[in-house]
Amino acid sequence: MLYYIKKREVQMKTLKYLAIGVVLLFASVVPMFAASTSTYLYVYGFHSTLLSVTASELNFGTFTQVSGWQLADANITVLAPVGVPYNIALNAGSYYNGNYRGISSGSNRMSYSVFQPNLASEWGDSDFDNTYHFGASVAGTGDGTSQVYTAHGMLNTSQAVGLPNSQYFDTVTITVYY
């Protein structure tokens, strides 16, 4: 029985030393501090699919009734974030007559057309608002830089026969859908 008690004391001491060793091991791994303080890390991010569009004038310049076809170009510039798909649509303008866009001076009008950059078809909004059904929008995808699209205008100046000398104008709304 004495042997059993001694053996038990030895086991208890071993466990005691083992426990002290484990505590010392963790004490050396986990630093002990007397105090602490906290603050916040404010994390912000702004996801934006905002884009911008600007345009130069489509100016046919000065022409006579015998000039023939008067051509003019305008640049439409779109700045869109990388990977954002968009469509650039041109409405019918202020003086659309059901068949053509028109430039006007009072009640005097002349028809003109605006073609897409590829010159293959007219530029309109038939796939969106459909105010000008003779042409669709132009599709693009943002790359984070300004992308320039050329609008090609054509005006047959023979329409000017009998019209007064004046400045003729129109306003076409450019809408970018994204």
Say if strands 101-105 and 146-156 run parallel, antiparallel, or are unpaired. Answer: unpaired
pLDDT of residue 133: 95
pLDDT of residue 50: 83
Name the DSSP class of 159: G
Q: Are 134 and 124 in contact, with CB atoms under 8 Å apart? A: yes
CA of 16: how far to CAs of 7, 20, 25, 53, in Å? 14, 6, 14, 78
Say how far apart CA 48 and CA 159 lie, in whole Å. 47
Q: Which two tokens stand for residue 47?
A: 């996801």
pLDDT of residue 33: 72
pLDDT in tens, the chain (178 residues): 444 444 455 455 554 555 555 555 555 555 667 777 777 777 755 556 689 999 999 999 998 877 789 999 999 999 999 999 999 999 999 999 999 999 999 999 999 999 999 999 999 999 999 999 999 999 999 999 999 999 999 999 999 999 999 999 999 999 999 9
